[in-house]
Amino acid sequence: METSSPANPYRNRPMESSRHNIQDTESQVDSSNVQQFNDGTIEPQHLTFTLQFLEWQGLYEIEKPFQIFINVPKDAEDPRDTNLVFKSVDVKVHDVRGHLDKYTLDDHGFMYRQHSTVVSDFANRNDVVNSYLPEVEALLRRELDGVDRVFFFDWRLRRNEPEVEGAVIDMNDPTTWLRPAVHVHIDQSPAAVLKRIQLQLKEDAPYLLRGRVRIINVWRPLISSVQDWPLALCDGSTVDPTDLVETDHVRRHYTGSTLYLMHNPQQRFYYLSGQGKGEAVIFKNFDSDKRVKARHAPHASFLHPDAKVGRVVPRESIEVRAFVFTYPKGVEPPHNGNPCRKPNGR
């Protein structure tokens, strides 16, 4: 169990505010609290399960943590594609079923909402961009305060299916099915947030960075009930900033950075048992407002102990990532202030 680590330049620190610097797994069941999925009921289930947390290495004092998502030549001077080391930690996760209204975006970093969609084929890029993203935008405008502009920069499909050895994954194609992400993480580091705004919204960046900036994910199942790989979320108000480690993500055309979480006993995790396709979870990856209790929600998938291979429908899900901007008070936007969405939804 990681309780403390030496100081290092790549651990996340509290974010300073300025106009230019914004802010497998085997589970064990507490059988007294669990009901089988196949008995026709969904009861609150508080589980002790295994999550994958980053384990601090002395190497990180002199070399920034990294992951490379392109093929590294075998004859390269440094053939590594990562220097990350993870460890398994048994963690209790609390089922929010029956208590959904208790959890809020600013107090916990996540919330659940009923949300329907007209889209049936999520592997169809046009259907996602032209129908689903507008539905998600309407959801965000209805459920969040201060939404002046929404900019979608990414969406991803995930499916629980066996890995194919040697298969090449095109990370530039959002219709590519990815496996569930099992390491506890936050999608975007503060530095990555700033870089992406300046890259993709360059003309408006000076104005947008004067207001509130949030990165919001909307995650939903594409099947009737997730029984094998649910999504666990950490209450952002229980996360010590020094337990977050910035890691470079190197792709062929873009290098971003994410945050991996080291375990701390004060962290509290939650999930929604039997989450269905009409139940969306809205959660934060970043919030420049330092007044709120939760500015993010680290998250990861875990293998449900009741899942039997071949006896449950494999999880399928879609997640959408969006900038949500609140304009600075008393300053007119540089354009007409309409939502900005890239044609391909990224």
Q: How far apart are CA 109 and CA 192, in angstroms?
A: 19
Mean pLDDT of 197-217: 97
What's the confidence (pLDDT) of residue 43?
55
Answer whether residue 325 shows pLDDT above 90. Answer: yes
User: Which tens digit of pLDDT belongs to each residue from 155-189?
Assistant: 999 999 766 555 556 667 888 889 999 999 999 99
pLDDT computed for residue 7 by the predictor: 41
Predicted local confidence at residue 340, as pLDDT? 46
Please tell me the predicted confidence (pLDDT) of residue 344: 44
The pLDDT of residue 335: 64
Q: Order of strands, edge to edge, in the sheet holding 110-114?
A: 110-114, 279-287, 212-221, 316-326, 149-159, 177-178
Q: Are 267 and 239 in contact (CB under 8 A)?
A: yes
Q: What is the pLDDT of residue 16?
A: 35
Q: Residue 11: its pLDDT value, please?
A: 55
Of 49 and 19, more confident: 49
The answer to whether the CB of 29 falls within 8 A of the CB of 90 is no
How far apart CA 135 and CA 262 sit, in angstroms, is 35
Using CB atoms within 10 Å of the CB of residue 315, give its burial: 0 to 12 exposed, 13 to 18 middle, 19+ buried: buried
The reported pTM is 0.83
In the predicted model, what is the mean pLDDT of the chain? 85
Q: Using 50, 70 and 90 to split pLDDT, how confident is the model at 31?
A: very low
Q: What is the pLDDT of residue 311?
A: 82
